[in-house]
């Protein structure tokens, strides 16, 4: 039995800032409307503000939840799961998570956008712009607090009785979302979600519901010190410059132009750095520029984000978005954005954290220098193990480099990884035909090997080297073409893989059929439900990548150019996107790396290691200590690197640490 459903809810928590779990944990939370359909039958709308409908909902849905054959289908079903768990006081378990299916996940798996409206539009569902605009207005009216005014009688919330006509429109809006869910599910039925991907979604639901503990005393201390440091710096800037707001780009630019006699286009970090190197600067100009740098080193936004989304029990939930990175299926960060945290270089960390908790600004400045920079580096350490617990952190080492080496069959690279060697030194040795040892023989070449490894694996050229910081490393631009040529010659099988992928994709789009390249099967699939084709790439794990409506055009060299309909990563719009062999290799390599992580998480969970969040290729576990630190870490690393059934010869490596707060080792 499939129960398609959609809720309209109220809470006094801003869901964008607080997240779904903080939203439903508010005492003010309630389900207002429930639209549902059983197995595609006509949609029924229950008004839970009415006693009779609420009693009916409680009875019917409690019964549906207890049935073994019931499955709840929704768009972003994690939200509906959290609402039902809150309403019926249900504890998240694997059995509870298994009762949900997500049409948003189905769309993302097939290469479509995330939102219900965008998915419907991409699938060709009729677009009702007026309905969409009215719906958003109704959500603002009924689902969020309102500002008390004389006109509305000083109320802080709009109820159904305050505008019965709008309320009836709201019911129709809720009903239509379920109609859209049913149609999306039907149209995507030709590309079913593999059981393994569904199981990983369920595990992700449990991880997000589990959350991670945060040290709120530390967070509030950081917020106080950050504000004090900012206020002090701005006050000093006012005293020096006489400006009303020295943080204003316009005001500060004008002042600097008057003081230096130079035209200044912007106040970006690199511009401020260049201006600081002028010998003719006055003390006032130098100090203002240094203050500008200091203010730019960090903000307290991530500490603010933690404070906004922490639940009453001191844990932050909902940090990860399953399949958030469209196409590859990797996770994306949400709320605090744990996948984009500053690196930590400050030592010793325990002392720095203690000074912050004591609000000791002078001590923090005396020991560590820049307060803003120190607070920025300490953000990671806000995530902690609860009392008597420890965090175990394990990180795959050079996972993409290992995967591309395995996928291409580049044997010399695989031997480096199997032997625990340094891939940067080994790469430089192959490129320059000499022995390269870190800090030893020909050690200066390791840097060239490193930047080449980081920049060139996906058909990048000199531009990729520059973007990866080659010039900042002191490598002359004139040497970059030679580095590209040497790396490609040393990695001929990877270079061949780019062209093999490109050729396979072009062939199946042009002629149909299937082409197998290094365990990846390219195919052109026809979807009769939508009367459209897609390019699919079946990965070694069995999961597929989809490229909708592929077409062939001409590139600037006159050769075939492949494009498809997808979500532009910059504009987030549904549009035609061009691709090529190197980009296809990047998609597949990152997707395989993602599958390695996903299977590792499943093994860890099954072995009783509760993951609280993960970052790229790194997992963080919150557990009671069960042995000495080395034994605990060794056990986790062993599970992480266990050979995969679909890639038994892929040499995985991992390492990590055990501690009481999160850090970057």
DSSP 562-602: EEEEEE-TTT--EEEEEE-HHHHHHHHHHHHHHHHHHHHHH
| The two three-digit tokens of residue 503, written as one number | 């050729």
Residues 355 and 478 reside in one and the same domain: no
- CA angle, 299 as apex, 286 and 322 as ends, to 5°? 140
Return the higher-pLDDT residue of 360 and 559. 360
pLDDT surpasses 90 at 410: yes
Cα 370 from Cα 87, distance rounded (Å): 47
Q: How far apart are the first and last CA of the chain?
A: 48
> Residue 155 domain-assigned?
yes
pLDDT at 531: 81
pLDDT digits (tens, 9 = 90+) for 430-481: 999 999 999 999 999 999 999 999 999 999 999 999 999 999 889 999 999 9
CB 172 within 8 A of CB 35: no
In this structure, the answer to whether residues 233 and 366 fall within a common structural domain is: yes
Does residue 40 lie within any of the structural domains? yes
Do 334 and 283 lie in a common domain?
Answer: yes
Res 278 pLDDT > 80: yes
One domain for residues 221 and 370:
yes
- Inter-CA distances, 462 with 43, 379, 401, 431, 481, Å: 57, 35, 19, 16, 6
Give alpha helix (H) positions in 261-408: 269-276, 283-296, 301-309, 349-357, 361-368, 371-377, 399-408
Domain match, 421 and 471 both: yes
Q: Do residues 253 and 293 both lie within one domain? A: yes
Cα separation, 648 vs 519, in Å, equals 13
Q: Which of 525-534, 609-618, 627-636 is predicted least confidently?
A: 525-534
Q: CATH number for the domain including 35?
A: 3.30.420.10
Please give the residue that has the higher pLDDT: either 223 or 268. Answer: 223
Tell me if 451 sits within 8 A of 444, measured CB to CB.
no
167 and 57 both lie in a single domain: yes
Distance, CA of 456 to CA of 23 (rounded, Å): 44
**Whether residue 422 has pLDDT greater than 70:** yes
Asked if 490 and 617 count as a contact pair (C-beta separation under 8 A), the reply is: no
Q: What is the pTM of this model?
A: 0.92
Q: Are residues 180 and 220 in the same domain?
A: no
pLDDT average, residue stretch 346-375: 94
300 is a domain residue: yes
**421 shares a domain with 349:** no
> Is the domain of 276 the same as that of 166?
no
63 and 122 assigned to the same domain: yes
Residues 599 and 145 sit within 8 Å (Cβ to Cβ):
no
Q: Whole domain around residue 376: which residue ranges?
A: 211-384
């Amino acid at each position: 039995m499939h129960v398609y459903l959609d809720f309209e809810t109220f809470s006094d928590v801003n869901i964008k800032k607080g997240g779904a779990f903080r939203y439903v944990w508010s005492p003010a939370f309630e389900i207002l409307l429930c639209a549902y359909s059983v197995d595609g039958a006509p949609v029924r709308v229950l008004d839970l503000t009415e006693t009779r409908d609420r009693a009916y909902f409680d009875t019917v849905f409690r019964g549906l939840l207890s049935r073994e054959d019931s499955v709840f289908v929704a768009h972003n079903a994690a939200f509906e799961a959290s609402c039902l768990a809150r309403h019926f006081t249900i504890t998240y378990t694997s059995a509870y998570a298994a009762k949900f299916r997500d049409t948003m996940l189905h769309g993302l798996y097939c290469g479509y956008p995330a939102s219900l409206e965008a998915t419907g539009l991409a699938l060709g569902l009729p677009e009702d712009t007026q309905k969409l605009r009215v719906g958003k207005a109704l959500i603002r009216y009924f689902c969020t607090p309102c500002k008390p005014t004389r006109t509305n009688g000083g109320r802080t919330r709009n109820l159904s009785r305050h505008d019965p006509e709008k309320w009836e429109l709201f019911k129709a809006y809720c009903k239509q979302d379920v109609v859209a869910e049913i149609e999306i599910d039907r149209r995507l039925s030709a590309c079913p979600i593999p059981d393994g991907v569904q199981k990983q979604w369920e595990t992700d639901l449990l991880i997000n519901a589990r959350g991670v503990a945060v040290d709120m005393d530390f967070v509030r201390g950081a917020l106080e010190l950050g504000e004090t440091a900012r206020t002090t710096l701005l006050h000093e800037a006012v005293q020096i410059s006489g400006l009303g707001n020295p943080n204003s780009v316009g005001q500060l630019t004008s002042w600097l132009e008057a003081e230096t006699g130079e035209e200044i286009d912007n106040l970006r970090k690199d511009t401020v750095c260049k201006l600081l190197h002028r010998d003719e600067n006055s003390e006032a100009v130098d100090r203002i520029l240094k203050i500008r740098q200091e203010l730019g080193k960090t903000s307290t936004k991530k500490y603010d984000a933690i404070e906004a989304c922490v639940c009453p029990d001191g844990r932050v939930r909902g940090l990860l978005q399953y399949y958030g990175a469209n196409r590859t299926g990797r996770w994306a960060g949400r709320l605090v954005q744990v996948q984009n945290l500053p690196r930590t270089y400050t030592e010793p960390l325990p002392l720095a954290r203690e000074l912050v908790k004591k609000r000791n600004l002078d001590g923090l400045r005396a020991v560590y220098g820049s307060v803003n920079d120190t607070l920025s580096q300490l953000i990671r350490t806000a995530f902690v193990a609860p009392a008597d617990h420890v965090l175990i952190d394990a990180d795959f080492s050079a996972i993409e480099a290992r995967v591309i080496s395995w996928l291409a069959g580049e044997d010399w690279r695989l031997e480096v990884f199997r032997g625990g060697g340094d891939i940067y030194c080994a790469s430089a040795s192959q490129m320059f035909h000499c022995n390269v040892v870190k800090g030893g023989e020909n050690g200066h070449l390791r840097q060239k090997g490193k930047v080449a490894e980081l920049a060139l694996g996906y058909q990048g050229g000199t531009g990729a080297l520059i973007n990866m910081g080659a010039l900042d490393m002191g490598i002359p631009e004139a040497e970059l073409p030679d580095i590209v040529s040497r790396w490609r010659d040393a990695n001929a099988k990877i270079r061949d893989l780019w062209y093999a992928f490109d050729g396979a994709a072009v062939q199946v789009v042009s002629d149909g059929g299937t082409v197998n390249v290094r365990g990846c099967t390219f195919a052109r699939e026809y979807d009769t439900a939508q009367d459209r084709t897609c390019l699919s790439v079946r990965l070694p794990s069995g999961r597929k990548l989809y490229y909708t409506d592929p077409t062939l055009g001409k590139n600037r060299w006159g050769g075939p150019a492949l494009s498809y309909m997808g979500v532009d990563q910059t504009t987030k719009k549904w549009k035609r996107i061009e691709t090529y062999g190197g980009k296809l290799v990047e998609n597949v390599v990152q997707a395989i790396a993602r599958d390695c992580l996903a299977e590792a998480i499943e093994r860890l969970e099954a072995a009783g290691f509760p993951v609280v969040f993960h970052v790229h290729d790194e997992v963080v576990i919150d557990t009671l200590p069960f042995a000495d630190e080395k034994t605990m870490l060794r056990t986790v690393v062993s599970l992480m690197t266990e050979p995969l059934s679909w890639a038994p010869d892929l040499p995985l490596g991992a390492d990590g640490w055990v501690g009481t707060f999160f850090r970057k080792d």
